[in-house]
Amino acid sequence: MAGFNKRNVHLAMEDIKESIAELAHYRNTFLRVDQRSDEEE
């Protein structure tokens, strides 16, 4: 199973961007979120 590959760059902004990308990867891979808005419920 292909996972998220970290670049191991340790600069504050790069760490933040990498963390956001990693969270997006896991959200898209494991958390199948329904894209409906709250107004549709």
pLDDT value at residue 31? 85
For residue 40, the model assigns a pLDDT of 59
How much is the pLDDT for 4?
73
Residue 33: which residues within 8 A CB-CB, separation 6 or more? 27
The rounded distance, in Å, linking the Cα atoms of 28 and 12 is 24
| Cα–Cα–Cα angle for 6, 11, 15, rounded to 5 degrees | 45
Q: Which residues contact 27 (CB under 8 A, 6 or more apart)?
A: 33
The more confidently predicted of residues 24 and 6 is: 24
What length is written for the chain? 41
Rg of the Cα trace of the chain?
14
pLDDT band at 13 (very low <50, low <70, confident <90, very high): confident
Q: What is the pLDDT of residue 21?
A: 93
Q: pLDDT per residue over 19-41, tens digit each? A: 999 999 998 888 876 766 656 55
